[in-house]
Structure 1
Amino acid sequence: MPTVAPIDLDDHCLAVAFLEDVPVFALASGQVVRLDHGTHRHDLHDGLLATAVTLDGKSLISGGEDGKVMRLDADGTETTLRPAARKWVNAVAAGPQGVVAFADGRTATVLLADGTERTFEQARTIEGLGFAPKGLRLAMARYNGVSLVFVQGSAPAIDFEWKGAHNQVMFSPDGRFLVTAMQENALHGWRLDGKPGTEQRHMRMTGYPAKVKSLSWSNKGKWLASSGASSAIVWPFSGKDGPMGKGPLELGQRADTMVTCVACHPVEDLVAIGFGDGMVLAVRIADSKEALLRRPGKGPVTGLAWNKTGRLLAFGSQAGDCGVVDIAG
């Protein structure tokens, strides 16, 4: 039976993560709380807006209303990657080879591990950032589509157009697909493995009753789980055309509340699903078998993260009632 270690943080929790095996909770105020043999509080921002975990799982990158970009390591070391500035940092991303990106307004800045800095300008505000899993390619979500740039070299940007506001962007783990969450209740995707010069292949994923705020790829990229409905909507991506012509799975269906957050397990094909009433379920993709991980709480689940082995699940809520579930009991 899963056991829950609760912690009440009295603030809107925007994101949760594990840095190595240390759970951290990023709060809207700009404070990040680390649970490492006690509770450690780090006042990183005057208003937090965005977080990303580095690929080695050792650090949290954050951006805020104060214009700062910070790195917090598992041992509590704080590093200022960019000091306070006038513009809000509303998107951050971490990529291969220790690279970090952040967006403020219409500019994306990439910080390479050797200290080199590159900037990329867009005609519209950049709402989301995502790195390709291999090679230093950065996707920038904006109004009417995504621009894809190579961080090194001078190749021109590749534009993927689709009408509407795109506010999140992510690559599939194998790098074959690019997917955005939109301001309307939909996801949009493009195939990236087409021959040069051929027409872009679009993937429309619609029918959500609410905006999709949470996305998570399964460990091998065969499935993409999403919030925005009364069940977790899980799209199949194993075929060459991704989900086109196939319906999604609907996992953890509940009649009276919406799915607000999803997190795929790092080893098994199962999804942790957080709901608007604070409940958390684990559901196996193969047979929809459910396990209750947490009973309803004070507020909607706004953050979920597994540790590397998938034994521990950290959760955070809009009301600040957070905690860690040990699924082995």
Structure 2
Amino acid sequence: MPTIAPFELSGHCIAAAYLWDSPFFALADGTVHRLDHGAHSSNPHDGLLCAARTPAGDQLITGGEDGKVTATDRSGATTVLAEYPGKWITCVAAGPQGAVAFATGRAAMVRKSDGTLVEFQEQRTVEGLAFAPKGMRIAAARYNGVSLHWAGLQTEPVDLDWKGAHTLVTFSPDGKYLVSSMQENALHGWRLKDGKHMRMSGYPAKVKSLSWSAKGKWLASSGAPAAIVWPFSGKDGPMGKAPLELGTRGDTTVTCVACHPTDDAVAIGYGDGMITVARISDGKEAVLRRGGRGAVSTMGWSRRGVQLVFGTETGDCGVADLTA
């Protein structure tokens, strides 16, 4: 049976992630906590709104109500990457070559590893950002669609239009597809080679969590009584295919998903604090956590996929160890 090491904090946990072998927890009050031979904390923000782990897993990028964009490394040291006094940094993304993207209002910025900034102006507020898996291409989710920009080139953006408010955005690991979460309890996708639309609807609640499987064949999502897992293995993605439903429960909603780093399995967090892990091939489940205080808001796997760090909306955090 997995064992749970609880870590009681105070307030909404925005992000829980491993930086190498140390669990980190970023809270809405602006504190970042880490477990490394004891509990440690720092205060990089006066109010924290968003966070993203770098692809290398060596830094946690955060944005706050104080207008700061910071990077916290695995020792807990914090570096201010950008500062916009009086502004809110509403979303961040970490990309290749040490690049970081962040947004405030209608402006999206890409900070390159040498510190230079490239700014893109949108007609509406930027709600979500994502880097393509290769190159310096950035996607900005906004009202009525997503804009694609090249950070290093003076070119016009590619506009992927679809009516409604788009909040989260993610590229498939092979770079062939782009998927956004919408305010209207649905996902919308585009096949990038020809702009073909993909509608993924039927959710009873808003989709606030998306996670790609290790090889990019599946996209797991929250927003239903089960983890809704869409197939992306064919040339048409999920078009004309039904999704899998994993970890179905009748009394609560899935609030967070996190695919395993090497296996086709997904951790599923629920509104009552319960966490399970389900195998995609046959739906077999194992309970990692029976429940707790508050909905699961964030989860992250260790590098080898044998520990899972989690946080909730009430600060009821901890680490599940699957090796026990």
- Aligned residue pairs: how many? 324
Q: The residue matched to 2:168 in structure 1 has which SS? A: strand
1:163 alignment counterpart: 163
The 2-side partners of 1:60 and 1:274 are apart by 21
The 2-side partners of 1:244 and 1:230 are apart by 22
What are the Cα deviations for residues 194-213 of structure 1, in whole angstroms up to 9, with x where unaligned?
Answer: 3xxxxx20000000000000
Cα drift, residue 46 of structure 1? 1.2
The 2-side partners of 1:29 and 1:139 are apart by 28
For residues 198-237 of structure 1, the aligned pairs below 5 Å read 200-237=195-232
2:291 alignment counterpart: 296
Q: The residue matched to 1:256 in structure 2 has which SS? A: coil
- Residues 1:323 and 2:318 aligned together: yes
Cα drift, residue 170 of structure 1? 0.7
Cα drift, residue 76 of structure 1? 1.1
Cα drift, residue 68 of structure 1? 0.6
Letter matched to residue 224 of structure 1: L
The 2-side partners of 1:279 and 1:78 are apart by 32
- Residues 1:90 and 2:90 aligned together: yes
- Residues 1:266 and 2:261 aligned together: yes
Cα drift, residue 18 of structure 1? 0.6
> Is contact 2:146-2:159 (8 Å) kept?
yes
The 2-side partners of 1:115 and 1:287 are apart by 47
The 2-side partners of 1:37 and 1:133 are apart by 34
When structure 1 is superposed on structure 2, of 139-148 and 7-16 the one drifting more is 7-16
- State the identity as a percent: 62
What are the Cα deviations for residues 112-151 of structure 1, in whole angstroms up to 9, with x where unaligned?
Answer: 0122211010111100000000011000000000000101
The 2-side partners of 1:281 and 1:193 are apart by 36
Cα drift, residue 83 of structure 1? 2.7
Q: The residue matched to 1:97 in structure 2 has which SS? A: helix
Letter matched to residue 70 of structure 1: T
What are the Cα deviations for residues 217-251 of structure 1, in whole angstroms up to 9, with x where unaligned?
Answer: 00110000000000000000001111000000000
1:103 alignment counterpart: 103
Letter matched to residue 291 of structure 1: A
1:122 alignment counterpart: 122
Letter matched to residue 100 of structure 1: V
- Residues 1:243 and 2:243 aligned together: no
When structure 1 is superposed on structure 2, of 118-127 and 108-117 the one drifting more is 108-117
Could you list the runs of 5+ residues in structure 2 that have no partner in the other structure? none
The 2-side partners of 1:225 and 1:102 are apart by 24
TM-score (norm 2): 0.99
Picking from 297, 300, 303, the partner of 1:305 is 300
Letter matched to residue 247 of structure 1: A
When structure 1 is superposed on structure 2, of 41-50 and 181-190 the one drifting more is 41-50
Could you list the runs of 5+ residues in structure 1 that have no partner in the other structure? 195-199
Runs of 4+ off more than 4 Å: none
1:276 alignment counterpart: 271
1:45 alignment counterpart: 45
